[in-house]
Structure 1
Amino acid sequence: MPGETLPASETPRSCPFSSGPGEPRRYPFPRPSALEVPRELTGLRERPVVPVTLPSGDHALLVTRHADVRRLLTDERLSRNLNRPGAARIARNNRMFQDPKIDPDPPEHTRVRRLVMRAFTPTRVESLRPHIHEVVDELLTAMEKRGGPADLNEALAFPLPIRVICRLLGVPEGDTALFRSWTDHFLSVSRFPPERIRAAMADMNRYIAELIAAKRRSPGDDLVSDMIRVRDREDGRLAEYELQWWCRLLLLVGYETTATQLGGGVALLLAHPGQLALLREDYGRIPDAVEETLRWKLAGSSVSMLRYAVDDIEMDGYTIPKGASVIPAADSANQDETVFDRPEVFDITRDAGRHLTFSVGPHFCVGAALARAELQIATEALLRRFPGLRLAVPPERLRRHEGSLLEAFTEIPVTW
């Protein structure tokens, strides 16, 4: 199950290269500073495939070009199922998204995703907009009363998405504080020791099982209750473990990605006064500004997109061999010079809609619409409420958590 630890004695796993593409680079690549993209992404697309070494010590192939990444994300020969002998791992002591009881590939994944998406509808997301506005207003009012400087993470970026996802799933608001710690452990690459990851995930699993049992006794107008109805009314087509797994996944990663992106996106705007001025002149640019911050892929690298080649894949004169572990690198694709003019420049006036931050194909992010709604509503409300909002420290002094999959910002001090 997610969070399961690995024996410390396991050795790094190699990747079968079909030709000599060079010595593996360490991935994720380091950032020069918290708001910058890694320097290694510049010129990376001169080669379609780059060998890398993951935090686990295992080897994988990084696919660099936008067209190739987009194609591979829909290629059935590239499997999401990492429960295979020799498959690379993200971390040595945390399986994260590896679960032998869950098949993340079609047709099983398609069946389960279709059932889940019947409950996770655009109509339900749209119905959450008033709640998002309400929570944002409440958080900004509290931030204003406390006065600056404030940590944007604690004032807005983290409280908003956890309250929204808990409302969506029917989690009591008093329990939202539990998920911050559980998520930190679930997404730990090297930040926490194995025993602490095990304990946190055991607590999380117990909570989800108890939540489902409570919703089964007393269903409500929420996503968990709807998912239970899908299971109970359709001859068990959504197995009990699948139900628990999806609830756990949505609760854990359905909020920290948005939280990291929201705080980082605002910081990125504040670090670019010219772009911020354009936005303040016309708040109609908010959707484009959000897409540009998404292109910047502030919520970590592409290591979570790790795949396994179940067959040889020919690509631009290079063969990805069967048995290779592969990362379709959205962070590299989002910097592709053939798709985005001057990609190294942060520009809210560009059309950034072709970014691959939410992936494409069968694993397109189920929470993309909700994330966009939260990012747009919160960013606009924050900038309108605080016309003098600015970073309280130089941008280069911002820091990220080390050893975490999403590389969340440790804090984002702002004043006004």
Structure 2
Amino acid sequence: MSTTGAATAPAYPFTHRETVLHAPSALTECRREPAMRVTLPSGDVVWLVTRYQDVRVLLSDERLSRNRDQPDAPRITKDNSMFQDPNVSLDPPDHPRMRRLVAKAFTAARVERMRPHTQELVDRLLDDTAAAGPPADLHRTLTFPLAITTLCELLGVPVEDQKDFRHWTDAFLSVSKYTPEEIGRCRGELFAYIERLVEAKTNEPGGDLISALIAARDEDSNRLSHYELLYWAQGLLMGGYETTASHLGAAIVTLLANPGLLARVRDDLSLVPQALEEMLRLQVLFSSMAALRYAKEEIEVGGMTIPRGAGVVLAMESANRDETVFPDPETLDIDRPSHLHLAFSAGPHHCAGSALARMEMQTAITSLLRRFPTLKLAVDPLELRRAEGGLVEGFLEVPVTW
């Protein structure tokens, strides 16, 4: 790992925002060069690739490794090895093999079959919200309950066990919020729980995703190992809970803070899916530290040379604001082509749960606007606070009234 040049490499993730609703201002400046040196919370200096076309291409470049178990490989933080396990390879040929098996269980058809039940869950949560009366914090009454209940039902986690996942996830995604001891304890508790769950589903399989993954492990000639199964189950839980809830909360804030867009979408709820895609592009909730790679070979990016052995972060939050792809990128424009943004990454590591996340958010926003036609933020949006000390920088509360 390298700390050379740390004094001149700015800290990443960038933190300074014009307002709580804006992305960090440094994102605009960073695209003046195709790549720049930045310092991670660990103190390691890495290359930040900033432009859309470069980021999109490099997301599929096998010269960049997701495996960072080399002695000189950079780390996100000194205390948390999030998204890194030396026992699981995230590069070919192992990753495509595992990904294909997961995709067999995590299909669009399975997600679509969940839509009616998701609608029932959203309706029940909104019933409870209405009964309690305004004001309400939608993170408490809608976004987080929806995300954790949907994901746990998909994976087959019993209702009585769901209460522990918020704390485990918070620690797993911690950059500076928890001590190393707390992070290690929570990771251990989560992995032990997943192991017990897999054993239970092996003995008594059901219609859930864990049971489907076990079947893929046992029936496919390119089967998942037991440890790989545990790793993927953990990853699906971590990636599909906090991020979905935070994205949904941010989309609601963004919508309510833009009266013109809100009126247009309220008048035509069929616009919710395309509005959501633009809000996913614009509302940066986290840095791209989880996309940290290790350069196995020298790589040229826009005329700049990234040396072999360097750490590389593919800045999707910068790519989503690249002026050459998204004219006037800070403007919320729901008529943009919706398929271009990289909120769910791209290439072989494209988010496996993106279809589920989209379905949940579309259902929740549509139902919320239909149920509460006078919904508005209960505070000035500039008074809202963002989470600090973790990968996910969503809003701490989504206070609304009607």
Q: Distance in 2 between matches of 1:48 and 1:297?
A: 22
Residue 316 of structure 1: which of 296, 299, 302 is its match?
302
Q: Distance in 1 between matches of 2:49 and 2:222?
A: 39
Does 2:387 correspond to 1:384? no
1:241-280 aligned at under 5 Å gives the runs: 241-280=227-266
Q: Distance in 2 between matches of 1:63 and 1:84?
A: 21
The answer on whether the counterparts of 1:35 and 1:298 sit within 8 Å (CA) in structure 2 is no
Provide closer, same or farther for how the CA distance between residues 291 and 236 of structure 1 changes in structure 2, counting only shifts above 3 A.
Answer: closer
Q: Distance in 1 between matches of 2:355 and 2:266?
A: 24
3-state SS in 2 of match to 1:42: helix
Does 2:52 correspond to 1:60? no
3-state SS in 1 of match to 2:400: strand
Aligned pairs, how many? Answer: 401
Which residue of 2 is the match for residue 14 of structure 1? 2
Following TM superposition, by how much is the alpha carbon of 1:341 offset from its aligned partner in structure 2, in angstroms?
A: 1.4
3-state SS in 1 of match to 2:246: helix
Does 2:389 correspond to 1:403? yes
Q: Distance in 2 between matches of 1:352 and 1:62?
A: 25
The answer on whether the counterparts of 2:3 and 2:43 sit within 8 Å (CA) in structure 1 is no
Does 2:295 correspond to 1:330? no
The answer on whether the counterparts of 1:335 and 1:344 sit within 8 Å (CA) in structure 2 is yes
Deviations 1:50-74 (A, max 9, x none): 1111111111111111010001111
Q: Distance in 2 between matches of 1:22 and 1:352?
A: 39
Supply the RMSD in Å over aligned alpha carbons. Answer: 1.6
The answer on whether the counterparts of 2:55 and 2:315 sit within 8 Å (CA) in structure 1 is yes
Q: Distance in 2 between matches of 1:236 and 1:320?
A: 35
Gapped regions of structure 1 (runs ≥ 5): 1-12
Following TM superposition, by how much is the alpha carbon of 1:146 offset from its aligned partner in structure 2, in angstroms?
A: 0.3
Following TM superposition, by how much is the alpha carbon of 1:298 offset from its aligned partner in structure 2, in angstroms?
A: 3.3
3-state SS in 1 of match to 2:31: helix
Amino acid corresponding to residue 177 of structure 1 in structure 2: K
1:94-113 aligned at under 5 Å gives the runs: 94-113=80-99
Q: Distance in 1 between matches of 2:290 and 2:215?
A: 31
3-state SS in 2 of match to 1:50: strand
Does 2:393 correspond to 1:412? no
Following TM superposition, by how much is the alpha carbon of 1:280 offset from its aligned partner in structure 2, in angstroms?
A: 1.2
Following TM superposition, by how much is the alpha carbon of 1:342 offset from its aligned partner in structure 2, in angstroms?
A: 0.5
Following TM superposition, by how much is the alpha carbon of 1:195 offset from its aligned partner in structure 2, in angstroms?
A: 1.1
Q: Distance in 2 between matches of 1:234 and 1:40?
A: 47
Deviations 1:351-379 (A, max 9, x none): 24211111111101101111111111111
Which residue of 2 is the match for residue 9 of structure 1? none
Deviations 1:210-261 (A, max 9, x none): 1111111110001100111112233682111001111111112211111000
Following TM superposition, by how much is the alpha carbon of 1:299 offset from its aligned partner in structure 2, in angstroms?
A: 2.8
The answer on whether the counterparts of 1:80 and 1:306 sit within 8 Å (CA) in structure 2 is yes
Amino acid corresponding to residue 9 of structure 2 in structure 1: P
Does 2:56 correspond to 1:70? yes
Does 2:350 correspond to 1:350? no
The answer on whether the counterparts of 2:250 and 2:283 sit within 8 Å (CA) in structure 1 is no
Amino acid corresponding to residue 315 of structure 2 in structure 1: A
Amino acid corresponding to residue 215 of structure 2 in structure 1: R
3-state SS in 2 of match to 1:46: coil
The answer on whether the counterparts of 1:302 and 1:329 sit within 8 Å (CA) in structure 2 is yes
Does 2:194 correspond to 1:188? no
Does 2:116 correspond to 1:130? yes
Which residue of 1 is the match for residue 183 of structure 2? 197
Which residue of 2 is the match for residue 84 of structure 1? 70
Provide closer, same or farther for how the CA distance between residues 309 and 15 of structure 1 changes in structure 2, counting only shifts above 3 A.
Answer: farther
Gapped regions of structure 2 (runs ≥ 5): none
Amino acid corresponding to residue 24 of structure 1 in structure 2: A
Amino acid corresponding to residue 125 of structure 1 in structure 2: V
Does 2:11 correspond to 1:23? no
Q: Distance in 2 between matches of 1:185 and 1:201?
A: 8
Q: Distance in 1 between matches of 2:289 and 2:314?
A: 9
Amino acid corresponding to residue 273 of structure 1 in structure 2: P
Amino acid corresponding to residue 188 of structure 2 in structure 1: A
Following TM superposition, by how much is the alpha carbon of 1:15 offset from its aligned partner in structure 2, in angstroms?
A: 6.4
Q: Distance in 2 between matches of 1:295 and 1:254?
A: 18
The answer on whether the counterparts of 1:33 and 1:399 sit within 8 Å (CA) in structure 2 is no
Q: Distance in 1 between matches of 2:49 and 2:3?
A: 14
Which residue of 2 is the match for residue 4 of structure 1? none
Which residue of 2 is the match for residue 146 of structure 1? 132
1:217-236 aligned at under 5 Å gives the runs: 217-234=203-220
Q: Distance in 2 between matches of 1:276 and 1:16?
A: 48
Between 1:363-372 and 1:173-182, the stretch displaced more is: 173-182
The answer on whether the counterparts of 1:260 and 1:298 sit within 8 Å (CA) in structure 2 is no
Q: Distance in 2 between matches of 1:299 and 1:215?
A: 34
Following TM superposition, by how much is the alpha carbon of 1:34 offset from its aligned partner in structure 2, in angstroms?
A: 3.0
TM-score normalised to structure 2 length = 0.97
